Structure 1
Amino acid sequence: MIQRPAKNEYPDYYVPYLDLVPEGDLLQLLKENLQKTVSLFEGISEEVSLHRYAPGKWSIKEVLGHITDTERIMSYRLLRVGRGDQTPLAGFNENDYVEGAQINRLPMENILQDFTATRNATINLIQNIPTEAWANKGNANGMEITTRAIAYIIAGHQIHHCKIVEERYL
């Protein structure tokens, strides 16, 4: 089982995400949350998927696209840090990614398939990280972070955004 990261293993701005991750087996949680996310989004119509809960906020489709893009980026960081790569990794602007994706043009089914493929790839990567690599330290967005912290951030980020969808959109 992957040990929960200590507070000094990740930047403070990730604390809200890690606080959402319950105790227990992280891999099992990622698998369960894949199914929960599919269930949450698959019942949303194309019309409702374009809903924004306030002006300037993302649509439901854009939220799911953001979850997927962020998981891809964080999985890449997980791979690099997990392999001992010390090259500093750049940050990214989430709003630029949402705008660049033009995801509202895609059917919800395609966006959900993309999330599913991304989450399955993340699970496979995590299953194959060597035990000793979980404590590796790397640099992402100018801040030190460990492999295990990245894995927990992936889980917490998805939980965070699904809660927002449930509470503010639906």
Structure 2
Amino acid sequence: MLERPATEEYAAYYEGYIKLVPEGNIIERLEQQSNIVQSVLSSLTEEQANYRYAEGKWSVKEVIGHLTDNERIMSSRLLRIARGDQANHPGYDQDVLMQSHPFDAYTVADLNEEYAAARRSTLLMLRHISPEAWLRKGIVSDNPASARSIAYVLVGHELHHLSILRDRYAVDVPL
């Protein structure tokens, strides 16, 4: 089991996400989340997936698209840090990424496939990270970040958005 990261392993911005992560094996948590998201997506109609709970808010499809974008970005950071890259990994603007890509044009099946592929890639990478590599630190947006803290952020960030889908979009998400 990978221990929860210490506060000096990540920027204060990520504290809320990391606190959401229950105790347990982080890789198993990522697998469980993948199963939940894929199951939820498989249960949605196109109309349900295009739903926005308020004007100007993302659709369900865009929320899943955002999770997929975040997965790719965070996995890249985690890989580079785990392997000793000391470069400063810049932040990203989720709204710019969302404006630049038409997730609402995806079918639910396409979104499900893309999300699943991104998560599977992350899981395959994580299964081969050595114990010492999990503890390596790099820099993300001018702040220290360990490889393990990024894995925890991935889980916590997704939990945050799944809770929003459940609470604001009335999507049946078993958390």
In the alignment, is residue 129 of structure 1 matched against residue 133 of structure 2? no
Q: CA deviation at 1:145?
A: 0.6
CA distance in 2, matches of 1:137, 1:60: 34
Match of 2:37 in 1: 37
* TM-score calculated relative to the size of structure 2: 0.94
Structure 1 CA distance, aligned partners of 2:101 and 2:141? 22
Kindly indicate whether residue 95 of structure 2 is the aligned counterpart of residue 102 of structure 1. no
TM-score (norm 1): 0.97
Distance 1:110 1:87 in 2: 34
1:115 is displaced (CA, Å) by: 0.6
- Pairs within 5 Å for 1:15-30: 15-30=15-30
Show CA shifts across 1:38-62 (max 9, x none). Answer: 1122211111111111121100000
In the other structure, the counterpart of 2:173 is none
What number of residue pairs does the alignment pair up?
Answer: 170
1:90 aligns with 2:107: no
2-structure distance, mates of 1:128, 1:54: 42
Write the mapping of 1:1-170 to structure 2, written as runs, cut at 5 A. 1-170=1-170
2:23 partner SS: coil
CA distance in 2, matches of 1:31, 1:106: 24
What's the offset of the Cα at 1:116?
0.6
Q: Which runs of 5+ in 1 are unaligned?
A: none
Shift in Å at residue 64 of structure 1?
0.1
Greater helix fraction, Structure 1 or Structure 2:
1
State the percentage of identical aligned residues.
39
